[in-house]
Amino acid sequence: MHKKKARTAITPTREEDYPEWYQSVLQAADLAEHSAVRGCMVIKPWGYAIWENIQKVLDRMFKATGHQNAYFPLFIPLSYMEKEAEHIEGFAKECAVVTHHRLEKGKDGKLVPGGKLEEPLVVRPTSEMIIGHTFAKWVESYRDLPLLINQWANIVRWEMRTRMFLRTTEILWQEGHTVHATAEEAVIETQRMLEVYSDFCHQYLAIPVIRGEKTESERFPGAVNTYTIEAMMQDRKALQSGTSHFLGQNFSKSCGIQFRNIASELEYGWTTSWGSTTRLIGGLVMTHSDDDGLVLPPRVASCHLVIIPIIHNEDTQSKVLEYSEKLAFELRKIQYEGENLRVIVDKRDLRGGEKTWGWIKKGVPLRLEVGLREIESGELSVYRRDRPHKEAIRFFSEEVVVLLEAIQSNLLAKATAFREQHTVSIDHKEELYEFFTAKGEEIHGGFALAHWNGDPKIEEQVKQDLNVTIRCIPLHLPPEAGKCIFTHEKSARRVIFAKSY
């Protein structure tokens, strides 16, 4: 006998069509929608609330490490970009360029660009060059260092293939830029900010990430070293979730960032940059959500708890609504993560089942149903989004924070167990190719730890053959002498191979 397939709120399921499942979750949760501009998206209130919570926490973490916020222009003169050859080469194909400054009526009455600019302006793909030229004015002496700046902004990268939150033409992000007196200080800063990203993902998004260094071919254009945090999604692909770059003196020399040291000698500064984007929301969706919709970690959730009044007739309506509002008022006094609980009372004129499934799909961590029976008995039951939707537990308002933390911990534990289950050590080329080769339509692959001799030609060959890249050289693994699985030459440590977004 065939086992009857369970009915799910999201179709297709993850196993049936993961990319389509992801889009369906975004739509069902009302997170975002496509805009009239190709490759751009409208982030709707439920999705933007998550971004606001991410901003709030990261901003606090940045300021705790001495950084200040500033804002720099959206437009970068083309001549600035040209000063750092490797940088412009790395972004040239993704740049949007402004060439005119007004619109005029053409011969057919349609609007056409007019007023050609003397110098084209690049819509920032990243801000190293425009910020570097500003820093050159701000830095004069060693007493001005370290200079620790962050900005919350948008960037534009003209992507050919886009997917909401993961890869869009316009991206919301933060980018940190710093200047230091020594290379050692800049390296410490680079690694410290990588640690901030890692801590944030673990503690707030409940996403376990691996910290590592990118290979030369995967470095940020113009960087000396690039460090990354890599997460595994439920389709076993890697998602680069934040990067931190040691830029050496490359951009200082391009932009003229110089300072007089303690001996009054002129030196070039040592710079870093680091960034994270709304891609974190895509990672959150793909790490925790299930076939019934979105699952939100409480620490960044748009709402912590929703109260659903169950009203069977007009006679009980006022009593149930009054009780629900009073309960919400008391719950909002409770502090969680330094803020009052975010509580919604769903008073919409909809059937109870429709409301319930709507909130399940939106991923709210706790769902509380209140009817006349609950009011009269004084016993309330709550539903946890990280457990089966029919599984109710007794609810005591004084324990709500404990419940939220239990959900947060459970999501991290589940995601960590999933990653460990699909991470393997591989010692032969044939094993690697078999690991990443599909067998039917089932989800396959994961993270493969293997020795590699450092040859970028091998990287390129694996990418061509399997669409697999080296995600990073993991920092948490100690050196381990071995042999490259491709050439049998000596290798000092294993790297992570994976398919990625």
Cβ neighbors of 333 (< 8 A, separation 6 or more) are: 340, 341
pTM exceeds 0.75:
yes
Q: Rounded CA gap, 350 and 399, in Å?
A: 29
Quick count: other Cβ atoms within 10 Å of Cβ 123?
17
For 278-322, how does the pLDDT look when each residue is reduced to its tens digit (9 = 90+)?
999 999 999 999 999 999 999 999 999 999 999 888 888 999 999
Q: Rounded CA gap, 26 and 22, in Å?
A: 6
> In this predicted structure, what is the pLDDT of residue 351?
87
Q: Which strand (E) or helix (H) includes residue 232?
A: strand 225-232
The pairing of strands 111-123 and 41-43 is unpaired
Q: Provide the token pair at 401.
A: 């924070």
Angle between helices 18-28 and 352-362 (to 10 degrees): 120
Query: pLDDT under 50 in the chain at which residues?
Result: 1-2
Instruction: Go through the domains of the chain in sequence order and give each one's CATH number.
Output: 18-288 (3.30.930.10), 300-407 (3.40.50.800), 422-498 (3.30.110.30)
Counting Cα atoms < 13 Å in the Cβ hemisphere of 490 gives 3
